[in-house]
Chains A and B, each alone.
Chain A
Amino acid sequence: LAKTTQPISMDSYEGQEVNITCSHNNIATNDYITWYQQFPSQGPRFIIQGYKTKVTNEVASLFIPADRKSSTLSLPRVSLSDTAVYYCLVAPGSNYQLIWGAGTKLIIKP
């Protein structure tokens, strides 16, 4: 399983776009990149998943460069309610054993 590296914490302000980058230098060919959001005392919530290039859904975008050694989660126009911990995970699509890192604690200020 590929090891991931994320910033421990980030601050931003309401209305700004926030980009959280995850490094995964030893990503394997059949690995997918997945991001989760977790609020205190709640279970993680699946945000977005991708394999390469760009993926967009109603809440976020995921940018993956051609070498796939990193990925960037982009949250457009954040609000206070986006304050949470964000986890980047990399694993084969069929692998059920995910390794969760410490995540990135994102704090949004008024």
Chain B
Amino acid sequence: EAQVTQNPRYLITVTGKKLTVTCSQNMNHEYMSWYRQDPGLGLRQIYYSMNVEVTDKGDVPEGYKVSRKEKRNFPLILESPSPNQTSLYFCASSAAGGPIHGYTFGSGTRLTVV
């Protein structure tokens, strides 16, 4: 089944403890992206990657890092999480050409930083 898989689904952590949220897609998509979703603020893009070794900042990149060493994986790294990074995170992918093909989203990771 074609899908984007995120792990973990739920994560509670403490301020300052580095964490990684993994994202993997099995559709051979060139493009991958991370979003966060907060009540009243909608979906906001954190980082995106147009292909392997190519990443760029979205609208809210502060406090996050990403890497794209292989086409299928696009992990999101929080080096020093803070409570304002408590949110619902989604990874998405699409074929080359981006939105014209539609995005496939993962099921989400609900992160709580205390």
A-B interaction = yes
**A contact residues vs B (CB 8 Å cutoff):** 32, 34, 36, 41-46, 49, 89, 91-98, 100-103
Q: Which B residues are CB-close (under 8 A) to A49?
A: 99-100, 102
Given A43-B105, A43-B108: A93 and B42 interface contact (C-beta under 8 Å): no
State whether B99 touches A42 (Cβ < 8 A).
Answer: no
Interchain Cβ contacts within 8 Å, total number = 60
Interface of chain B, helix or strand or loop or mixed? strand
Q: Which B residues are CB-close (under 8 A) to A36?
A: 103
Smallest CB–CB gap between A95 and chain B, Å? 6
- Choose from A44, A93, A101 the contact partner of B105 (Cβ within 8 Å): A44
Smallest CB–CB gap between B42 and chain A, Å? 5
Identity of the chain A residue whose Cβ is nearest the Cβ of B4 in the assembled complex: A43
